[in-house]
Chain A
Amino acid sequence: NAGVTQTPKFRILKIGQSMTLQCAQDMNHNYMYWYRQDPGMGLKLIYYSVGAGITDKGEVPNGYNVSRSTTEDFPLRLELAAPSQTSVYFCASSLHTSGKVHEQYFGPGTRLTVT
């Protein structure tokens, strides 16, 4: 199993540009998450998905969009990039079943700089 994979690893964007951060998992997990980590801070939830076709906002969703057309993939779209979106982005997934908590598995992160 590759686990959770993210592409690209690094990206520099100009203000106003758009891009999609890719995330895929091969563990058949139903829940997936996008977090961002600003310098010196913990991770904050941007969006999450409880299954294909179902997504919802987290703590800091402004400026982002997501979709979940398959169980495996959960891309994060940045429209009109702003310097405030300079951060490290982590995708995570977990398996949720009735009565049991399963750990979240994290991808390696994408470092995004907007200038």
Chain B
Amino acid sequence: AQTVTQSQPEMSVQEAETVTLSCTYDTSESDYYLFWYKQPPSRQMILVIRQEAYKQQNATENRFSVNFQKAAKSFSLKISDSQLGDAAMYFCAYRSARSYTGANSKLTFGKGITLSVRP
């Protein structure tokens, strides 16, 4: 079974600065997907960025980028130019690419990191 670990329960960043959120995972599979989700106080789960394991290039979405280290099973999220609206809980999640059927399609989540942004 796959596991996702987010060992930092909380982080804080000054507005306009850069912060990196860490995530490690464990899997025996070679092909999979990794995601970062944002959950603001509204509780809505918002997809921030995704990475396909077979791609060596790190994914980037505007101010959000990842550092994907497949051998180390590490998947960190970097937020540049932090804004007050970035304050939220961030979840790292794993999904198998082995099959698109059944339970393999589910997301396995870490416990999340609460990010606060100081004005």
Contacts and interface: CB of A to CB of B under 8 A. Distances in A.
A53 interface: no
A58 B43 contact: no
Contact of A108 (B42, B93, B95): B42
B91 interface: yes
Contacts of A42: 4, 91, 93, 109-112
Given A41-B112, A50-B101, A96-B100, A108 B43 contact: yes
B63 to A, nearest CB: 19
A80 interface: no
Contact of A106 (B45, B105, B111): B45
Interface in B71-119: 91, 93, 95, 97, 100-103, 105-107, 109-112
Interface string A82-115: 0000001010101011100101101011010000
A79 interface: no
B54 to A, nearest CB: 12
Interface residues of B, number: 26
A56 interface: yes
B47 interface: yes
A20 to B, nearest CB: 20
A110 B31 CA distance: 33
B43 A103 contact: no
Contacts of B106: 33, 45, 48, 58
A31 interface: yes
Contacts of A44: 109
Nearest to B46: A106
A94 B111 contact: no
Contact of B111 (A40, A48, A97): A40
Interface of B: 4, 9, 33, 35, 42-45, 47, 50, 52, 91, 93, 95, 97, 100-103, 105-107, 109-112
Interface of A: 31, 33, 40-45, 48, 50, 56, 58, 88, 90, 92, 94, 96-98, 101, 103-104, 106, 108-109, 111
Given A101-B100, A109-B44, 5 more contacts: A40-B112, A45-B107, A101-B33, A101-B52, A103-B47
